Structure 1
Amino acid sequence: MRYLTILLFLLTFAIGCKKDDIKTFDGRDGISFYSRFSSDPDSTNYSFALQPTFKTKDTIFIKMRLVGKPSGVERGIKLKAMAGSTARPNVDYILPEVKLPANAVFVNYPLIVFNTPEMLNQSFKLVLGVDPGSELISGAAGIAVDQSKNFAQMKVNITNQLIEPDYWQNISFFFGDFSVVRFKFMVKVTGLTNFDPNVIGFSEMFLIQVNLKKALSDYVQANGPLIDEFGNQITF
Structure 2
Amino acid sequence: MKKRYMILLLFIALAGCKRNELQYFEEEVPFLNIWLGTRGSVLDSITHNFAYSSGNKDSILFYYRIAGYPANQDRKFELSTSDNDAKLLNFSFGSYSVPAGKSEGNFVLYVDKPIDKNLFLNKDLKVTFQVKSTTVFQPAVKEQSSLRIIFKNAVTKPDNWENAALPYLPLRNFFGVYSNEKYKFVIQVTGMSNFAVYRTVAVNPELEPNTITEIHARALQSQCKIALEKYKADNGKDLLDENNIPIVFP
Is TM > 0.5 for Structure 1 vs Structure 2?
yes
Corresponding residue of 2:128: 127
User: Aligned partners of 1:119, 1:45: CA distance in 2, in Å?
Assistant: 18
User: Aligned partners of 2:115, 2:82: CA distance in 1, in Å?
Assistant: 23
SS at match of 1:117: coil
- In the alignment, which of 220, 233, 239 is matched to residue 208 of structure 1? 220
One-letter code of the match for 1:95?
F
Asked whether 1:227 is paired with 2:226, we answer no
User: Aligned partners of 2:138, 2:59: CA distance in 1, in Å?
Assistant: 23
Asked whether 1:93 is paired with 2:91, we answer yes
Q: Identify if the C-alpha distance between structure 1 residues 187 and 59 changes in structure 2 by more than 3 Å, giving closer, same or farther.
A: closer
Q: Identify if the C-alpha distance between structure 1 residues 80 and 178 changes in structure 2 by more than 3 Å, giving closer, same or farther.
A: farther
Corresponding residue of 1:64: 64
Task: Please give the per-residue CA displacement for 1:35-62, whole angstroms capped at 9, x wherever unaligned.
Answer: 5456x422122233324xx311132221
How many percent of aligned residue pairs carry the same amino acid? 21
Q: Identify if the C-alpha distance between structure 1 residues 31 and 216 changes in structure 2 by more than 3 Å, giving closer, same or farther.
A: same
User: Aligned partners of 1:124, 1:155: CA distance in 2, in Å?
Assistant: 11
Provide TM-score, normalisation by structure 2.
0.65
Q: Identify if the C-alpha distance between structure 1 residues 120 and 130 changes in structure 2 by more than 3 Å, giving closer, same or farther.
A: same
One-letter code of the match for 2:187?
V
Q: Identify if the C-alpha distance between structure 1 residues 235 and 158 changes in structure 2 by more than 3 Å, giving closer, same or farther.
A: same
- In the alignment, which of 45, 65, 79 is matched to residue 43 of structure 1? 45
Q: Identify if the C-alpha distance between structure 1 residues 107 and 204 changes in structure 2 by more than 3 Å, giving closer, same or farther.
A: closer
User: Aligned partners of 1:201, 1:224: CA distance in 2, in Å?
Assistant: 30
Q: How many residues matched?
A: 202
- Decide whether the 8 Å contact of 2:32 with 2:66 is kept in 1: yes
Q: CA deviation at 1:127?
A: 0.4
Structure 2's unaligned 5+ residue stretches are 1-13, 198-206
Provide TM-score, normalisation by structure 1.
0.68
- Considering Cα pairs closer than 8 Å and 6+ residues apart, tell me whether 1 or 2 has the greater RCO: 1
Task: Please give the per-residue CA displacement for 1:70-126, whole angstroms capped at 9, x wherever unaligned.
Answer: 21111111110144x51227x421331111111211132321200112356514222
Asked whether 1:162 is paired with 2:155, we answer yes
Q: Identify if the C-alpha distance between structure 1 residues 162 and 108 changes in structure 2 by more than 3 Å, giving closer, same or farther.
A: same
User: Aligned partners of 1:118, 1:77: CA distance in 2, in Å?
Assistant: 31
SS at match of 2:116: helix
Within 5 Å, give how 1:77-92 maps onto structure 2: 77-83=77-83, 86-88=85-87, 91-92=89-90
State the 4+ residue runs in structure 1 displaced beyond 6 angstroms. none
Corresponding residue of 1:152: 145
